[in-house]
Amino acid sequence: MKEAVLPPQRRLLLIDDDRLQARLVQQQLKAFRREHFHLDWAGTYEEGLPLLLSGQHEVCLLDYQLGEKDGLELIREAKAAGCAVPIVFLTAESSSDIDIEAMNAGAMDYLVKGEISPSTLERSLRYALKLGDTLAELNRLATRDELTGLLNRRELNRILSEESDRSARFGRPFSLVMIDLDHFKSVNDQYGHAAGDLVLQETAKRISRHLRRTDRVARFGGEEIAVLLIELDEAQAAEVAERLVQEVRQAPYVLKNGTELAVTISAGLATLPIVAQTDLELLEAADTALYQAKQSGRNQLVIAREDAVRRAD
């Protein structure tokens, strides 16, 4: 006789200043029929927010009353920090408008504390998880390039604008690297578009694995890739960009039929505020440096300067 296979355990975060509520939720979780949760409990706003932002939990139950601050403030702060964890809001009264405010703030669902049962809690958590997955997929489709999985140009422009404003506000540099695959048209012409797609995908992988989590990489269009190096000055960014050029050329790309291709890239680097004051100026400077790299022989990095464009050694 085969043993019953338990469903995979999910991590649930409860943020509630009532210890009895935490015990009640723990007991209700044990009565679930389909889902299996491990409960972590935070009793204060200050304890709960960093746990929610840690990314360790798949779903969160959040109470409205949290001392001097409330759950609505916590939702807004978490969403502003980029939190994507589905949140189910807990309210004390069914007649209150707080539940509507919570949904408007970004909660996936709400429950009235006095009416919670194991079945309603399980249903609400399952609904929040499903809706969270759906929204995450929609966001991926809206912000990612389908072929490479990199960010798309629209999302790059949004991030570029944000980072430009942040750089101006806090006086921190950041750099943009514009990359172009050398002689890419000849790959498509000689080996077909499927080979060209493979080259783009492999280039995206090689570039991405040499970046930090805080950096951003996007398919700018065609065979062009843009890399945002957050809070790196020109010298630091040049080291990273040179490594990217070397990473692409150091090993041949292997097509599905076994053919080996020697692939190289050209790159243009611009740093704010050295050569630009706005995101548009930064993009123009990096693009100009890229053009210089291609015009002067390809397979190299060129750094944009305010008075001139010099080739990196």
Count CB neighbours of 296 within 10 A. 12
- Cα 53 off chain centre by: 13
Q: What span, in angstroms and rounded, lies between the C-alpha atoms of 73 and 78?
A: 9
* 276 contacts 160 by C-beta, under 8 angstroms: no
Q: Give the residue numbers marked as catalytic.
A: 223
Q: What span, in angstroms and rounded, lies between the C-alpha atoms of 30 and 32?
A: 6
Q: What span, in angstroms and rounded, lies between the C-alpha atoms of 253 and 202?
A: 8
CA distances from 135 to 53, 141, 176, 217, 307 (A): 18, 10, 29, 22, 46
Half-sphere exposure of 172 (CA within 13 A, CB side): 12
Q: What span, in angstroms and rounded, lies between the C-alpha atoms of 61 and 86?
A: 9
By CB atoms closer than 10 A (0-12, 13-18, 19+), residue 20 is: exposed
- CA 138, 142, 143, 144 torsion-angle sign: positive
Q: What span, in angstroms and rounded, lies between the C-alpha atoms of 47 and 263?
A: 50
Element (H, E) at 310: strand 309-311
By CB atoms closer than 10 A (0-12, 13-18, 19+), residue 33 is: exposed
